[in-house]
Chain A
Amino acid sequence: MKQRTPLMRRLGIAFILLWSLVPLYWALNISLQTDAQAGSKPSNYLPPTPSLDNYSSLLSGGSDLAQSVQQSSINIFIECAAATVITLILATLAAYAFARIQFKGRRVLFYAVLATMAFPAYTTLIPLYQILTAFGLVNTYTGIVLVYVSGFLPLATWILHNYMASLPIALEEAGNIDGASRMQVLWHIVLPLARPGLISTAIITFLFAWGQFLFPLVLSSDLSTQPLTVVIASLQGRHLVPYTLLNAAGVVALAVPAGIALVLNRYIVSGMLAGSVK
């Protein structure tokens, strides 16, 4: 029995790895082929003559396509970064209040905030669209960032709340005894201790924002605000699908989140597990 468990575990890990990595490999493989090679039968499991032409079409030169990809890459960075920073600031304040300040209705309010995570995104799309239209915020960075913040704030608050609640309260009490105000305690004592939690929350928020499609699709009208995810989808024709180009665009869009996940994955895991073990 003892020998079978590691084997099963290995098989399980191998299955999960294949399940996750084969589609990514296939996208990379197709992106390095020409249309003719990608459509050949039997399929090429390795690019016969690896070519970067698709990446060149997407990223270099002054073609309309390259300009769209370049501009939408800038847009997605701005929108994700801004949403991350604002979410982190608001979530920190909210999480600290929920974790440490005693006030009437605290639990109800906290669970009400968490409950908003259960709302399907589609139910909020139309009301948010109307509100942004009323304020002239459609097709603006501000509008898209505000919507991202409203969407990601509950999860960020929850993660940070769990993290802050797990910190020893004695240090904060010592700060209070020494005359520090609530904000000073938060700034000088809690935030340095909660740094891993803040980093993981920032990463998770950034990755979630990066993967958004429906909201920026509806809330942006042109290249001035459209993120990369929306521009990639527009490469698809009505009757013809440029498979190799779409795969290359997918790999480009994947590069940043994949890099973040690879380099900072320990923070992501710790953030997701925050508060699960006390």
Chain B
Amino acid sequence: MISKRNRLRGTALVAGAAALSVLATACTGGAGASSSQTKDVTITVALFGAPPPQKSLDAFTKSTGITVKWSTIDWDSLQTKIAAASTSNTYFADATDVDWSRVGQESKLGWFLPMEKYIDQKAYAADMPQLSSFTSNGHIVGVPFDASYLVTTVNKAMFAKAGISAMPTTIDEYTQDLQKVKAAGVAQNPLNIPFAAAEGLSTYWYETTQAFGGKILDESGKPQFSSPDSAGYKAAQWMVDAIKNGLVPAGNINVSDSESQQTLMAKGVTASTFADYSGNVGSLYDVPASSSVNGAVQYIPTPGMTGATANVSNPDGIGILKTAKYPEAAAKFIEWFTSAENQADFAGANGPDKVMPGYFLPSRLTGLEKLTAAKGLAGGQELTTMLKSSKPVFPAGAPVWYPQFSNSVYTNLHAAAAGSMTVDAAIKAISDSATKLAGQ
């Protein structure tokens, strides 16, 4: 008969062996070996929007032998998944989102394969002005698939009611026009600035800083906005003054960018958004179900110090994860997905059957031109011009520490707008934060 002590020992041994085997298996786990196969394979594409029409995907499968399994995950959750999977060195998708603000981080961490291996870099750069936003340390981390840049939108009907017919081309004219709209009683608070402590406030400040003729950081990451004479300082002062003087609704202190566009601009409560999203006229303001200002809101060249200025680009790209099972097949998909023909189709150039829900604007100039020619895109000509001249906030790619920097920007600007600190103190805090982060 086996004694109780022996039974316990046996149990402990089995348990120990099981635990060791679990540990050993887990340690050897991770992403499987990748394959260069491009025929008869299924790739997973994870993005934050609905997939392209099934017919389009079927046509891609027919021509390449690559089947696409599409996974829709909201943007924030997708970033969590990318981080979790890449940190764990495990597979979850072949191609996925690369956000402009994370390029530095993702490049340094090596989460994505360099795209220059798969695409004709020169040809892409010539047709995609925003490709530089995805370049870091000489490598292309992703390819912009949907042009997004900040633009100024104006409710021309409201401006007209206030007696303004010529659109402003400088910041001074713009400010005076907004004051006229307010004084005429057309809008109690005509300017929309989303002051909630969120990324939308940071990007608004970047666009305004560019309009004031300056930049945020130099090539070494040194802040360029510390002096009261600098564009960034003036831009912050202009934004905070706007809410203090009643140009911006007081309630905007806790309103985010998309919320303000949907509930203020689209409802005719505010008359202008200085840093709006490209594509919002067609996808929001001209949509009867979500807007009461159909046909009234238009893009204008962003007012600068002495005339129209460049727009800040903040596009989303698509890249191939380091843990991809079929990188070559994923590259073929990206080539197809970002082709001028498909981009124009997804944006509605050739009828509703080919539209990809939620798709804004082609990132290719040729795609945007096709779209403009085909369906008379709302503000198409202006958008094409602006896309050509759009500039990234960080020409050498967003720094590795961008998330912490942006956090400092929106937290301090929010506090300045709320009145709990001065603009001077807010700028100093942001500047100190940038200096500290760049020096690490």
Which A residues have a C-beta under 8 Å from some C-beta of B? Answer: 34-36, 39-41, 64, 125-127, 129-131, 133-135, 138, 214, 217-218, 221-222, 230, 233-241, 243
Closest residue on chain B to residue A103 by CB atoms: B8
B259 engages A217 (CB within 8 Å)? no
Question: A226: shortest Cβ distance to chain B, in Å?
Answer: 9
Question: Across the interface, which residues of B come within 8 angstroms of A235, CB to CB?
Answer: 74
- Chain B residues, CB < 8 A from A234: 72-74, 77
Q: How many residues on chain B are close to A (CB under 8 Å)?
A: 51
Q: From known contacts A126-B84, A221-B71, A233-B77, infer whether A134 and B29 are also in contact, taking CB-CB under 8 Å.
A: yes
Q: Given contacts A129-B90, A134-B30, could you give 14 more A-B pairs where the C-beta distance is less than 8 Å?
A: A35-B289, A39-B263, A126-B84, A131-B22, A133-B29, A138-B92, A218-B85, A221-B92, A222-B69, A222-B71, A235-B74, A239-B258, A239-B279, A240-B284
Instruction: Give the residue among B77, B87, B280, B316 with the most A Cβ atoms within 10 A.
Output: B77
Could you give 22 example pairs across A and B, Cβ below 8 Å? A36-B289, A39-B290, A41-B269, A64-B50, A129-B84, A129-B88, A130-B29, A130-B88, A131-B26, A133-B90, A134-B27, A135-B29, A217-B80, A221-B71, A221-B92, A233-B76, A234-B74, A236-B74, A237-B358, A239-B257, A239-B258, A240-B290
In Å, the complex CA distance between A134 and B89 comes to: 11
- A125 and B81 CA atoms in complex are apart in Å by 11
A221 surroundings in chain B (CB, below 8 A): 44, 71, 92-93
Residue B434 at the chain A interface, CB threshold 8 Å: no
Which chain B positions have C-beta within 8 A of A35?
A: 289-290
- In the complex where A217-B80, A222-B71, A236-B74 touch, is A130 in contact with B30 (Cβ < 8 A)? yes
Q: Is the CB of B88 within 8 A of A233?
A: no
Contact of B6 with A by CB under 8 A: no
Assembly CA distance A210 to B85 (angstroms): 23
Chain B, residues 279-298, CB within 8 Å of chain A (1/0): the string is 11001100001101000000
- Compute how far the CA of A135 lies from the CA of B258 in the bound complex, rounded to whole angstroms: 41
| Residue contact B277 to A239, C-beta cutoff 8 Å | yes
Taking a contact as CB atoms under 8 Å apart, the answer to whether B262 and A214 are in contact is no
Alpha-carbon distance between A125 and B290 when the two chains are bound, in angstroms: 39
The 9 tightest CB contacts between A and B, nearest first, are: A134-B29, A133-B90, A131-B26, A236-B74, A129-B88, A134-B26, A218-B84, A134-B25, A130-B88
Taking CB atoms, residues of chain A closer than 8 Å to B88 are 126, 129-130, 133
> What is the count of residue pairs linking A and B with beta-carbon distances less than 8 angstroms?
106
**Is residue B221 within 8 Å, beta carbon to beta carbon, of the partner chain?**
no
**Chain A residue nearest to B284 in the complex (CB):** A240
Q: CA A236 – CA B49 in complex, angstroms?
A: 9
Chain A residues contacting B292 (CB-CB under 8 Å) are 36
- A101 to chain B: closest CB distance in Å? 13
Distance of A211 Cα from B64 Cα, bound (Å): 42
0/1 per residue, B6-49, Cβ < 8 Å to A? 00000000000000001001111110000000000000100011
Q: B residues engaging A (CB < 8 A)? A: 22, 25-30, 44, 48-50, 69, 71-77, 80-81, 84-85, 87-93, 148, 257-259, 261-263, 266-267, 269, 277, 279-280, 283-284, 289-290, 292, 316, 358, 360
CA distance A230 to B74 in the complex (A): 9
CB distance from B17 to the nearest CB of A (A): 16
Give, as a whole number of angstroms, the nearest-CB distance from A147 to chain B. Answer: 13
Q: Bound state CA distance, A163 and B280, in angstroms?
A: 58
Query: Which residues of chain A are within 8 angstroms of B90 by Cβ–Cβ distance?
Result: 129-130, 133, 138
The closest CB in chain B to the CB of A34 belongs to B289
Residue with the greatest number of chain B CB neighbours at <10 A, chosen from A129, A135, A236, A238: A238
Complex CA distance for A237 and B47, rounded to whole angstroms: 11
CA–CA, A211 to B288, complex, Å? Answer: 36
Bound: A72/B279 CA distance, A: 32
- State the CA gap A218–B73 with chains docked (Å): 11
Contact B29 A217 (CB under 8 A): no
Smallest CB separation, A64 vs chain B (Å): 8
Given that A217-B81, A237-B48 are known contacts, is A134 also in contact with B262, CB under 8 Å in the complex? no
Q: How far is the CB of B402 from chain A (nearest CB, A)?
A: 18
With A138-B90, A217-B80, A240-B284 as contacts: A36 and B316 at CB distance below 8 Å: no
B357 to chain A: closest residue by CB: A237
- Name the contact of B358 in the complex, choosing from A127, A135, A238 (C-beta under 8 A): A238
Closest chain-B Cβ to A90's Cβ sits at a distance in Å of 15
> A221 vs B43: C-alpha distance in the bound complex, in angstroms?
13
Q: Which of A40, A129, A214, A230 contacts B85 (CB 8 A)?
A: A129
- Across the interface, which residues of A come within 8 angstroms of B73, CB to CB? 217, 233-234
Q: Which residue of the partner chain A has the closest CB to B54?
A: A64
Assembled-state Cα–Cα distance A239/B284 (Å): 10
In whole angstroms, how far apart are the Cα atoms of A265 and B181 in the complex?
56
Task: List, in ascending order, chain A residues with CB within 8 A of B72's CB.
Answer: 234
Chain A neighbourhood of B283, CB < 8 A: 239-240
Q: From residue B406, how far is it (CB to closest CB) to chain A in Å?
A: 17
Nearest CB in chain A to that of B200: its residue: A239
Residues of A within 8 A of B266 (CB): 39
Contact A218 B80 (CB under 8 A): yes
CB distance from B295 to the nearest CB of A (A): 16
Q: Which residues of A contact B48 (CB under 8 A)?
A: 237-238
Q: Taking the nearest CB of chain A, how far is it from the CB of B276, in angstroms?
A: 10
**B258 pairs with A241, CB closer than 8 A:** yes
Residues in A with CB closer than 8 Å to B75 are 236, 238
Q: How many angstroms between the C-alpha atoms of A236 and B258 in the bound complex?
A: 11
Cβ-defined partner of B74 (8 Å) among A214, A233, A243 = A233
Inter-chain CA distance A126–B87, complex, in Å, is 7
Picked from A129, A218, A238, A240, the residue with its CB within 8 Å of the CB of B262 is: A240
Given contacts A133-B88, A134-B26, A135-B25, contact A240 B71 (CB under 8 A): no
